[in-house]
Amino acid sequence: MKTLVRVFSLAVFLFIGQSAQAVLEIEITQGVEGGLPIAIAVFTGDTYTAPEAIETIVRNDLARSGLFDVLDKQRLPQVIANPSQLNFKAWRDAGVESLLLGKITQTNGDQFRIEFQLIDLIRKKRVLGNVIPADAKDVRKVGHKISDLVFETLTGIRGAFSTRVAYVSTINKDGSKKYVLQIADADGYNARTIFSSSKQILSPAWSPDGSRLAYVSFESGNSAIYIQDIIQGTRAKVSAKKGINSAPAWSPDGRQLAFTLSASGSPDIYILDIASKNLKHLISGPAIDTEPSWMPDGKTLLFTSDRSGGPQIYQVSVNGGKAKRLTFDGKYNAAADVSPDGRFIALVNNSGNGFRVAVMDVQSQAMRVISNGSLDEGPSFAPNGSMIMYATADQGRGVLAAVSADGRVKQKLRLTEGDVREPSWSPFR
Amino acid sequence: MTKQLFLAFFISLLLAFSACSTSTKQMPGDVISDDYEGGDPSLDDSAATTGLDGEGGLSMSSLDDVIAQSGNVVYFDYNSTEIRDESIPLIMAAAESLTANPAAQLRLEGHADERGTREFNLALGEQRAQTVRDLIMLQGVSGNQLDIISYGEEKPAVVGSGEESWQQNRRVEIIQ
């Protein structure tokens, strides 16, 4: 299979709160032929004072999804404002089957109207057309929205480009370390800090409705689990027992939180009913039991246990009972994250070549390694199951990477500031 | 039984004997035969007893001395919670110090290297600290004198990848 290696590199200056400028960079480090061939035309019309062209945002979104073969900007045969000017042959000769056209009209000050249409070049037919009014500052939102609509029209799968990612970063400033919990757009842009501490932060997890984050903070000296409302900024301490309080995971209905406590002497899995505060000791025993993850039906949990020697993934009913071992390939399998349809499990695997992200088919138990670092960890599925975000080391520094679920397309999201890790992909908005 | 544990038990026994040396009270499990007690020593001139206590016994240094000499850190093998021989003197000195000062407390901070998942490493760090705690408690120290916290891989002693860094990060720090 011929692999195209492309690097789309672009940088944009953002202001994060009142802090200094940070440069974000998107790199598509590996692509492959065989995606849906599409071209994103230059959007014509009025100029606007946004840092980046909408079509560039859409082009990058679709390219990094792994399902599209996006025509390079330099190879666009035509600049067209109106489909009536469309030279079908020129676009077909460029190898394209679908074409996105767009037009921007300034309506008032910073207000714009963005019209776009998706053309099926084979059937010579418009398959999608829409108008979005927007403020210039919302240009990235508009770009992701268009990407979502194009993605869904052509693949039948709901687009997840308008989603976000939460992660932890360490920033060294003036000789002291600061730990920050941040939320950025799923492509790494628009990062905002929602919690900052001089002590360690771990394991952010989105509530199913996307309104809250559960995470672990060492701010009180020991680990404790908090739930923070990301809009209000308010938060509640939900567990601060003796020993470890960690690895929070929301039930699919958002009413329960599974996590790890070692108050009994060894790390065990517990389930907390958030409203009633009723705490159930689900998994016990002298081994390490941690990293709970709910199956989408809410009836069973996956977790990591070293009861057999090394860490492996097990499955257990939320009502307790005997746990069933799921992983047998490799000496280290941990940190399972289940795909939204429940068919696949992303996990950290070590079969002798380092710690890598692998995807296991739940039915066949076949496992495929989809990352190629040596210290990769923290896999988190996109809410549409099409991609997986994980943490990897890049020249000694932690960065986030996204890989298509089939492993074919990889992308690094890079913040120039900080050592980044622990990604958690948000649900749909 | 592993070599390390055997050594730990052996040293524990030595300490137990040393603690009991001024007492003639019989301990449960001690096997003492009365048959030859007070018997005629001339029956066997070659018989001689040597006390385990004193010059011939284990010389214990104060915790401060041990820490000043070789540091306050217990190191571990990869993915292991087993205490190595080299760390026994430090742990024994910690136990002695706590026995001598029942009001004193020590904090055991468990850590892991960067390999593997963060949550599993948090658990691993705690298990390492617990192993050190258990060995100290085996010397008769109260659990109330020991506080455990695990930072997993979140607080490395040295930054960097490779066994040299990793080895320094797989540790339990004994903090006074």
Q: Could you name the CATH architecture of A34-155?
A: 3-Layer(aba) Sandwich (3.40)
Widest pairwise Cα distance in chain B: 69
> Are B119 and A218 in contact (CB < 8 Å)?
no
B3 located within any domain: no
Asked if the structure places residue B19 within a domain, the reply is no
Pairing state of beta strands A212-217 and A10-15? unpaired
A375 near B CB under 8 A: yes
Closest residue to A375, CB basis, from B114, B123, B126: B114
B57 part of a folded domain = no
Question: How many folded domains does chain B comprise?
Answer: 1
Q: Is A214 on the interface with B (CB under 8 A)?
A: no
Asked if residue B87 is part of any domain, the answer here is yes
Write out the H or E segment, with its range, that includes residue A289.
strand A289-294
Q: What is the CATH number of domain A165-425?
A: 2.120.10.30
Residue B168 belongs to domain spanning: 62-176
Distance of residue A198 Cα from the nearest chain B Cα, in angstroms: 12
Q: Does residue B83 fall inside a structural domain?
A: yes
pLDDT of residue A233: 93
Q: Which residues of chain A lie closer than 8 angstroms to B111, CB-CB? A: none
| From A59-63, A261-265, A301-305, A375-379, the region with the lowest mean pLDDT | A59-63
Q: Are the CB atoms for A128 and A120 separated by under 8 Å? A: no
Category of A150 on φ-ψ map: left (φ > 0), alpha (ψ -120 to 50) or beta? alpha
- Contact between chains at B118 and A378 (C-beta distance less than 8 A): yes
Among chain A residues, CA nearest to B133: A265
A288/B123 Cβ within 8 A: yes
Pull the structure tokens for residue B70: 């070789």
Domain membership flag for residue B110: yes
Please indicate whether, in this complex, the C-beta atoms of B117 and A222 are within 8 angstroms of each other. Answer: no
Q: Which of A265, A266, A288 sits opposite B120 (nearest CB)?
A: A288
Neighbouring CB atoms inside 10 A of B58's CB total 14
Query: Does the distance separating the beta carbons of A375 and B117 come in below 8 Å?
Result: no
Q: How much is the ipTM here? A: 0.88
CB contact under 8 Å between A247 and B119, yes or no, is: yes
The pLDDT confidence band at residue A172, using thresholds 50, 70 and 90, is: confident
Nearest chain A residue (CA) to B130: A265
Q: Which of A58, A66, A50 is nearest to A13 (CA)?
A: A50
What band does A34 get if pLDDT is binned at 50, 70 and 90? confident
For residue A248, report the phi and psi dihedrals to the nearest 5 degrees. -65, 145
The residues on B that touch A, with CB distances below 8 Å, are 79, 114-120, 122-124, 126-127, 130, 148-152, 154-155, 159-161
Asked if pLDDT for residue A21 goes beyond 80, the answer is: no
Instruction: Give per-residue pLDDT as tens, A220-248.
Output: 999 999 999 999 999 999 999 999 999 99
B162 pLDDT exceeds 60?
yes
Q: Kindly state whether A247 is in contact with chain B, defined as any CB-CB distance less than 8 angstroms.
A: yes
- Which tops the pLDDT comparison, B19 or A95? A95
- Three-state SS for B86? helix
Answer whether B117 sits within 8 Å of A291, measured CB to CB: yes
Instruction: Please report residues of B whose CB lies closer than 8 A to that of A422.
Output: 118
Parallel, antiparallel or unpaired: strands A235-239 and A224-229: antiparallel
Tell me the per-residue pLDDT of B18-66, one tens digit each, with 9 for 90 and over.
444 333 344 444 333 333 333 344 444 455 555 454 444 444 568 998 9
- The pLDDT of A204-224, averaged and rounded, is 97
Which 285-324 residues of chain A touch chain B by CB within 8 A?
A: 288, 290-291, 304, 306, 310-311
Q: Is A218 on the interface with B (CB under 8 A)?
A: yes
CATH number of the domain to which B89 belongs: 3.30.1330.60
> Which of A218, A221, A304 has its CB closest to that of B120?
A304
| Average pLDDT value for chain A | 89
